[in-house]
């Protein structure tokens, strides 16, 4: 081993490391700015739908009406799971929902007709299928773990509304469907976060798309990433009544423990996604179940 020629600088968490350029996403954490393909998240949140935003991210431009109708039909046609995947869900029903999702995404690779085709065109088609199938997995697990049979998708409903229908077995209100659609728009893209980076590492080895997305789901489940949202919900349950909130936070701070749900690793100003959810989230939570 030769002598070191210079000081090695460690970048924990890849902070300050740039490994590629993206045409899909732009984030300015200091200014609290987020854009998809050059479009402000505020404009998309106010004027777009999940299907339209999904098309924008995948194809690089907003669709015409005919293109959007065709894309929406393609998503709806992919709302199906092989019976064997339902069997997988039944087998692992007691596992954490994210673990069930990870296992089922991996299992789907055995049934996709284009698993081995890694061309851009086939990869795009597989991505569209997975976009339609993931809500099916989540909803099916919710029913199966509670001793119910999964609900069949409703082809009349848009992507977000159908997800709520799959979960509850009844058509959601217009307000609930719009808020879920908005949530999906706001979370459709966020640069090279941990789960996206994990997917890119796997895809970079020329593994199949299902393998890359399986890795992404595994990373997303971690409490320092998507799992943080679960910890926020757990904190809310621990607090119980709103009158205990101040006391709870003071106790956490006194013990040097983190208070979940405040701040973001990227944003130093406002998280630009947050403002669009505040108005409707309480109403939706009350409509969908215990607040």
DSSP string, 68-125: HHHHHHHHHHT----HHHHHHHHHTTTS-HHHHHHHHHHHHTTT-TTTT--SHHHHHH
Domain that holds residue 262: 228-288
Residue 104 in any domain: the answer is yes
Q: 94-147, pLDDT tens digit by residue?
A: 999 999 999 999 999 999 999 999 999 999 999 999 999 999 999 999 999 999
Q: 265-288, pLDDT tens digit by residue?
A: 565 566 777 777 776 777 777 766
Q: Are 71 and 170 found together in one domain?
A: yes
Domain of residue 215, CATH code: 1.10.580.10
Where does a domain end: 196, 224, 252?
Answer: 224
pLDDT at residue number 266: 61
Q: Are 198 and 267 found together in one domain?
A: no
Q: Can you tell me the distance from the alpha carbon of 271 to that of 190, in angstroms, rounded to the nearest whole number?
A: 12
**Of 11, 30, 4, which is closest to residue 272 (Cα–Cα)?**
30
Q: Are 219 and 232 found together in one domain?
A: no
Mean pLDDT on 64-92: 98
Where does a domain end: 224, 250, 274?
Answer: 224
Q: 180-223, pLDDT tens digit by residue?
A: 999 999 999 988 888 999 999 999 999 999 999 999 999 999 88
pLDDT at 29 over 60: yes
pLDDT at 1 over 70: no
Q: What is the pTM of this model?
A: 0.85
User: Angle 107-108-114 (CA atoms, 0-180°, nearest 5)?
Assistant: 130
Residue 259 in any domain: the answer is yes
Where does a domain end: 224, 245, 280?
Answer: 224
**Of 196, 183, 191, which is closest to residue 135 (Cα–Cα)?**
183
Question: CB–CB of 155/78 below 8 Å?
Answer: no
Structure tokens at 182: 């908005």
* Averaged confidence pLDDT in the chain: 89
Q: Are 96 and 116 found together in one domain?
A: yes
Q: Are 130 and 268 found together in one domain?
A: no
Q: 32-50, pLDDT tens digit by residue?
A: 789 999 999 999 999 999 9
Q: Are 138 and 258 found together in one domain?
A: no
Looking at the 3D structure of the chain, how many domains does it have? Answer: 2
Q: Are 277 and 158 found together in one domain?
A: no
pLDDT at 224 over 80: no
**30 or 90, higher pLDDT:** 90
Q: Are 159 and 129 found together in one domain?
A: yes
Q: Are 147 and 242 found together in one domain?
A: no
Q: Are 219 and 81 found together in one domain?
A: yes
Q: Are 111 and 245 found together in one domain?
A: no
Residue 204 in any domain: the answer is yes
**Of 153, 150, 160, which is closest to residue 79 (Cα–Cα)?**
153
Q: Are 73 and 172 found together in one domain?
A: yes
Q: What are phi and psi of 27, to 5 degrees?
A: -125, 130
**Of 210, 23, 205, which is closest to residue 105 (Cα–Cα)?**
210
């Amino acid at each position: 081993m030769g002598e070191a020629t210079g000081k090695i600088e460690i970048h924990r968490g890849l902070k300050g490391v740039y490994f590629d350029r993206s045409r899909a996403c732009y984030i300015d954490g200091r200014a609290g700015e987020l854009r998809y393909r050059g479009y402000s998240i505020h404009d998309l949140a106010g004027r777009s739908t999940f299907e339209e935003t999904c098309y924008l991210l995948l194809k690089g431009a907003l669709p015409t009406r005919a293109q959007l109708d065709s894309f929406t039909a393609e998503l709806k046609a992919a709302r199906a799971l092989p019976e064997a995947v339902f069997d997988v869900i039944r087998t692992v029903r007691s596992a954490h929902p994210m673990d069930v999702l990870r296992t089922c995404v991996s299992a789907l690779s055995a049934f996709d007709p284009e698993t081995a085709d890694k061309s851009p065109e086939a990869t795009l088609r597989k991505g569209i299928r997975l976009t339609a199938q993931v809500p099916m997995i989540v909803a099916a697990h919710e029913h199966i773990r509670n001793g119910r049979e999964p609900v069949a998708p409703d082809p009349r409903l848009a992507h977000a509304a159908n997800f709520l229908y799959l979960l509850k077995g009844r058509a959601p209100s217009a307000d609930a469907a719009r808020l879920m659609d908005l949530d999906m728009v706001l979370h459709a893209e966020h640069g090279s976060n941990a789960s996206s980076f994990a997917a890119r590492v796997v895809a970079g080895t020329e593994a199949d798309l299902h393998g890359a997305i399986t890795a992404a789901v595994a990373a997303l489940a971690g409490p320092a990433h998507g799992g943080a949202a679960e910890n926020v919900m757990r904190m809310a349950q621990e607090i119980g009544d709103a009158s205990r909130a101040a006391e709870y936070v003071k106790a956490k701070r006194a013990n040097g423990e983190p208070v979940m749900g405040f701040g973001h690793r990227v944003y130093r100003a406002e998280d630009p996604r947050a403002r669009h959810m505040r108005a409707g989230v309480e109403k939706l939570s009350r409509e969908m179940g215990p607040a």
